[in-house]
Chain A
Amino acid sequence: MAGMTVGMQSRGQLVAIAQVRWHIFVHSLRTTKGALELFSRIVIGVIITGGGVGGAVLLGVGAWYLVSHGKADGLLLLLWPVFMFWQFFPVMATALTETMDSSELLRFPLNYRAYVLVRLVYGALDPATVLGSLWLIGITMGIGWARPTLLAWAALVLGVFGVVNMLLTQMVFAWIERWLAQRRTREIFAVLFFLLIISFQLIGPLLSRYGDQSNATFHQAGRVAGPVQAVLPPGIAASAIASAVNGRQTAALLLLLGLSLYGVGFLRVLSVRLHAQYRGENLSEVDRSERLARAERVRAGWELLGLPGPVAAVVEKEFRYLSRSGPVLLTFVTPIVMLFVFGLGGRSGPGSGFLQHWPELALPVGAGYALLLLTNLIYNNFGPDGGGIQFYLTSPASFRSVMLGKNIAHLGVLAAEVVVLWLGASLLYRIPSAGAVLLTLAGLLFAAPMNLAAGNLLSLYSPKKTEFGTFGRQRASQVTVLASFVIQGVVFGIAGLAIFAARSYGSLLMAVAMFVGLGAVATAVYFFVLGQVDRLALRRREVLTTELCK
């Protein structure tokens, strides 16, 4: 535009985007659902802020202690957990993570710099970044409290460290999204993950062999790991501050430069993806060979023993959807990763993983975590269907059949997860005892129908369109997220009480019996809710179509 510099134009565009988001937010408050969304967002925001501030205080005290007692090198013990959380939380808690659909911006004359800026700004608003930033502020304050002259330097180093973290998260997200978007790359990813699982087979015996030995073995491992971690961002950031504490200004500057280079490198790799997206990349599922494929004979749908045709059709459709969703598949493998993470550190010493102490808990903990992740699907059954909800509303099949089909598919996934977890627990720790298996199954007998019943209701009352194909776009509505906190609190609270009572009486079977009794009640509740879904769906059809056909 004449008379307008590119910079002014970009600023104008960014302001326009912010204004649009504001208008959308204000208009959303016109409906009850919008107001509930805001309320839930505030509650969740308070919880996240509480965790952030609490963590910041703890980390701040820790930083103060380390710097004021001449142990500034120990700052890496604070920065590594922050780094790990920042990178893993978005994958582990996809219900709280959302990426924007930047493809909608492409029709506007937005230059590449403005496009990148918008992506980065949106990326900075996810919970991991908010929490991580708060914790870094806490550490900065702690350092400044211990040594006020270091405050500015610590703020600079940790600010750069925060930016590096944010860029790394976005880079990993963007590339995983790319790899999981197409069948071929997804298969390669699956093979790599399979190899990782196989490698657990080696880790298990290694831990068994060295876990019982003296700490010398782990000190040896620490001596190897030390230099490696020192050249990674948390190690460099910690060293940059420690060098300044010890008066080595040149070294501190060089380390800050090194940290910045990481940021530039991550931005460079991220920009390869962003540039492809900016050019209008479309990650089609069809590869070249498939485009040339000739017409195939149409296969008859699945026949599932004892299930009516419509229910079997929904089960088949759900499995096809899940198998084509890279992000969802990645979510399903995280419980096995968690088993591994909780067992890190060997069997002895203060840093040992808790599952090394209580290997019997590996299966129940893994199954509980798997169910927790599955609630992301269960609580928003129709989200991935989007406009397909109109088909359910106009077809003669009952919503009861549709819900049942979806629930059976999700239970199938849970069952497969439990089998994989059993294998994982056996490889990593030891074969779970019959008692642990029985306890896990009885616990699921209670928790699964309870979650399915709640999920069926939430799916009708608080639907939100989600995108299965794109990483970070599977987030349910905030109302659902808040409700899931409450429901999980109740379910896991009751389960915890049952196990506590059983332990008090020294009888595991007592917990199993309690779970079976609770399971019978939960199953009755599930079938009662299932019996109501047709009536509820009819009453909620306008909300369903409005929310899911957006």
Chain B
Amino acid sequence: MHAADPPNGSSLPVVPNSAAIATENLTRRFGDLVAVQDVNLRVAPGQFFGFLGPNGAGKSTTIKMLTGLLAPTSGRIEILGLDFAQNTVEVKRQIGVVPEGLALFGRLTGAEYLTFVGRMYGLDRETTASRTSELLEFMQLADQPRKLVTDYSRGMQKKLAMAAAVIHGPKILFLDEPFEGVDAIAAGTLKAMLQRMIARGATIFLTSHVLEIVERLCSHVAIIDRGQLVAQGSLEELRAGVEAQAPGMTSGGKLTLEEIFLRTVGGTRSAEQELSWLG
């Protein structure tokens, strides 16, 4: 795998063979609650990495720590071979983030927002303007130039947030639920862009509840449950692990990611319980 072109010609001392993302005993406590405990993640450069877990398992807490939105209680984060705590600004230059809340500025137009983001990442005015124009066209957001972000639909806001996350050409992209609330057309646009980035050697780390999308896009997956990492590897490795634990449980065909996930976290889907008042 080769790394994507560095933005603005910047060159970082990337350690050979180092992971794009690595954590060491990453832990986060909220009072007595241990949200994330001793998580040791390893994402190789160029991987499309899916980070899965049931609601409240610690996915968002982990991604927030990986992107600088939350301080770890203990443990270490290394991005592109750099210690995040020691090289905050250098690391932030190399990553793009679409957080849960999208981090948009509602009272700007889409073009103004992307221009603002580009300049905050240190791009010059001309480069920012041309990339903004390209991104708006690509994301099909160019036909309402005066519309404020606050008036965008949820899907449009997701596309804009994604455009903002890539305007500086990041080497790693962190996406928290990028396909939530997005229609099929917008999802197609987003997937096309992500696959193009992977083809150029970028690393993508995403959380999603839509397991079909993760299965189709991601080469590697990690599963977190109750704050602890319970599985990590390629889809084939996870499938083999589940089958080894419960031989004969498979129905002959390949296990889907949903089946792997349910067996790993021990969840069941039960329709037996009924709500009396719903009839």
List A residues at the B interface (Cβ < 8 Å). Answer: 284-286, 290-291, 293-301, 303, 309-310, 312-314, 316-317, 320-321, 324-325, 384-391, 393-398, 468-469, 538, 541-542, 545, 549
Contact = CB atoms under 8 A, between A and B. Distances in A.
B101 A301 contact: no
B122 interface: yes
Contacts of B151: 284-286
Interface stretch (B63-71, B191-199, B206-214, B257-265): B63-71
28 contacts: A286-B144, A286-B151, A294-B143, A295-B143, A296-B111, A298-B136, A299-B111, A301-B115, A301-B119, A301-B129, A309-B125, A317-B105, A320-B107, A321-B107, A384-B107, A387-B104, A388-B105, A390-B69, A391-B103, A391-B104, A393-B69, A396-B89, A469-B150, A541-B68, A541-B70, A541-B71, A542-B70, A542-B71
Interface of B: 67-71, 88-90, 92-93, 95, 97, 99, 101-108, 111-112, 114-126, 128-130, 132-133, 136-137, 142-148, 150-151, 164
Nearest to B96: A394
Contact of A296 (B92, B119, B121, B145): B145
A531 B266 CA distance: 50
Given A294-B143, A317-B105, A391-B103, A396 B119 contact: no
A393 B120 contact: no
Q: Which 6 A-B pairs have the closest CB atoms?
A: A313-B119, A390-B103, A300-B125, A391-B103, A396-B92, A387-B101
Contact of A286 (B123, B133, B146): B146
Contact of A398 (B70, B89, B90, B97): B89
Question: B119, B124, B137 — which one has the most chain A CB atoms within 10 A of its CB?
Answer: B119
Contacts of A301: 115-116, 118-119, 125, 128-129
A388 B113 CA distance: 10
A468 B106 CA distance: 10
Given A286-B146, A314-B120, A321-B107, 14 more contacts: A285-B147, A291-B147, A294-B143, A295-B142, A295-B145, A298-B130, A300-B128, A303-B125, A387-B102, A390-B97, A393-B69, A396-B90, A538-B88, A541-B68
Nearest to B110: A298
B145 to A, nearest CB: 4
A357 B121 CA distance: 55
Contacts of A469: 107, 150
B115 A300 contact: yes
B108 A310 contact: no
Contact of B126 (A294, A300, A317, A395): A300
B69 A391 contact: no
Contacts of A545: 69-70, 101
Nearest to A303: B125
B161 to A, nearest CB: 9
A469 B151 CA distance: 12
Contacts of B146: 285-286, 290, 293, 296
B129 A290 contact: no
Contacts of A286: 144, 146-148, 151
A390 B68 CA distance: 9
B132 A285 contact: no
Contacts of B92: 394-396
A96 B98 CA distance: 35
A384 B104 CA distance: 11
Contacts of A541: 68-71
Contacts, number: 148
A403 to B, nearest CB: 13
A217 to B, nearest CB: 49
Contacts of B115: 298-301, 313
Contact of A388 (B103, B111, B119, B129): B103
B71 to A, nearest CB: 7
B129 A394 contact: no
Contacts of A294: 143
B141 to A, nearest CB: 10
Contacts of B120: 309-310, 313-314, 391, 395-397
A377 to B, nearest CB: 14
Contacts of A468: 107
Contacts of B148: 284-286, 324
A393 B101 contact: no
B116 A394 contact: no
Nearest to A469: B107
B118 to A, nearest CB: 8
Nearest to B115: A301
Nearest to A544: B69
A298 B111 contact: yes
Contacts of A310: 119-120, 122
B91 to A, nearest CB: 8
Contact of A385 (B105, B125, B145): B105
B157 to A, nearest CB: 10
Contacts of A549: 101
Taking each of A300, A391, A549, which has the highest tally of chain B beta carbons within 10 Å of its own beta carbon? A391
Contacts of A384: 107
B70 to A, nearest CB: 6
Contact of B103 (A290, A303, A394, A542): A394
A479 B275 CA distance: 45
Contacts of A394: 67-69, 92, 95, 97, 99, 103
B112 A320 contact: yes
Contact of B116 (A291, A316, A398, A538): A316
Contacts of B97: 390, 394
A313 B124 CA distance: 11
Contact of A391 (B117, B119, B124, B132): B117
Contact of B104 (A291, A388, A397, A398): A388
Given A298-B111, A395-B120, A541-B71, A387 B144 contact: no
A299 B101 contact: no
A290 to B, nearest CB: 4
A309 B122 contact: yes
Contacts of B128: 300-301
Given A309-B124, A542-B70, A298 B147 contact: no
Contacts of B93: 396
A317 B108 contact: yes
Contacts of B143: 294-295
Given A286-B151, A324-B107, A298 B129 contact: yes
A545 to B, nearest CB: 6
A298 B129 CA distance: 6
A547 to B, nearest CB: 12
Nearest to A323: B107
Nearest to A295: B142
Contacts of B144: 286, 290-291, 293
